[in-house]
Structure 1
Amino acid sequence: MSTENHPGDAAPRKRVLIVGLAPKFVDFSQFPGLDEAKLTARLQAAEQAVVAAGFDVTWCLTDVAWERVEPLLRERLAAGEFAAIMIGAGIRMPPPLLLLFERIVNLVHEAAPRARLCFNTSPETTAAAVLRWVRP
C-alpha cells in the first residue's frame, strides 16, 4: 500500500508514514471480532481516508521482531521527509509490545525529529489523528 502524488497536483502533497503490524502478525485474540481480512480492509479504508484528507501515504507494516522492524523502519524514514508519523494501536496497545513501541518512538524521534507523531485508536481514526497535528 502506497500512494504517490496525484497528476495535476499544484504542489507536492505532505507525506504520512503509517507504522503498524502487518495483519498476518497481529494476535487477534486481543481484538475480539477482528481477523486478518477485516483488518486488511480497515487499513485500506484508512489509507483512502488519509489520501482523501490531502496527504500521500507510505506504509511500514512489519512483524514484532525488532531485528526486522528496525531496518525496515530506517529504510522508510530515509526515503524522504514525513509531515506526520502514525504509530498504530496494534503496536501501542498490547502490553507485550511495549518495548517494541518504545524502540519505534525513539527511532522515529532520532531519524525524523521534525515529523509530528500521531496515534489512532483504530484504523477508522487514522485520518483524524493526522489532521490533529498536520494540515495538507
Structure 2
Amino acid sequence: MDGDALRAALDQELTRFGEHAINASMTLIELDESAEPAIVTALSEHDWDVVVIGGGIRKPEPLLPLFEQVVNLVRRHAPKAAIAFNTSGGDSLEAAKRWL
C-alpha cells in the first residue's frame, strides 16, 4: 500500500468532517509497543461522542488481539463514546454520523 496515497485519502476524510461542521481528529499508530500509549493519549484529549475504528486494525486477522485491545481502550478511556466501524478510509464520516 502506498503510504502517501493512504495519508492523502485519510486527510481528505478529515476535510469531509470539517465540511459537515464535525470536529474530528485521527490517530495513526505503529504496530509496536507505542500503539497503546498513542491510543490512550488520543482518547484522553477530549470527551469524544464517537470513536471510529478503521479496517486497518479491524480486518486483518493477525491484528485481532490489537483490535480487541483498541475496543477495550475506548471503553476504558472514552466510556461515553459510541464505537463505530468504517468499511474504508473514505466512509469514516458516515460511520461516525450513524452515532452522532
Identity of aligned residues (%): 35
Q: Which residue of 2 aligns with 1:9?
A: none
Distance 2:56 2:40 in 1: 20
- Map 1:52-131 onto structure 2 (within 5 A): 52-65=19-32, 67-131=33-97
Higher strand share: 1
Q: Which runs of 5+ in 2 are unaligned?
A: none
Secondary structure of 2:31's aligned partner: coil
Partner Cα distance (1:104, 1:76) in 2:
12
What secondary structure sits across from 1:118 in the alignment? strand
Q: Count residues with an aligned counterpart.
A: 100
Where does residue 7 of structure 2 map in the other structure? 40
Q: CA RMSD, aligned part only?
A: 1.1
Amino acid of the structure 1 residue aligned with 2:57: I
Q: Given residue 81 of structure 2, which amino acid in structure 1 is its aligned partner?
A: A
Runs of 4+ with deviation above 2 angstroms: none
Higher fraction of helix: 2
The structure having more radius of gyration, on CA atoms, is 1
Calculate the TM-score normalised by the size of structure 2: 0.93
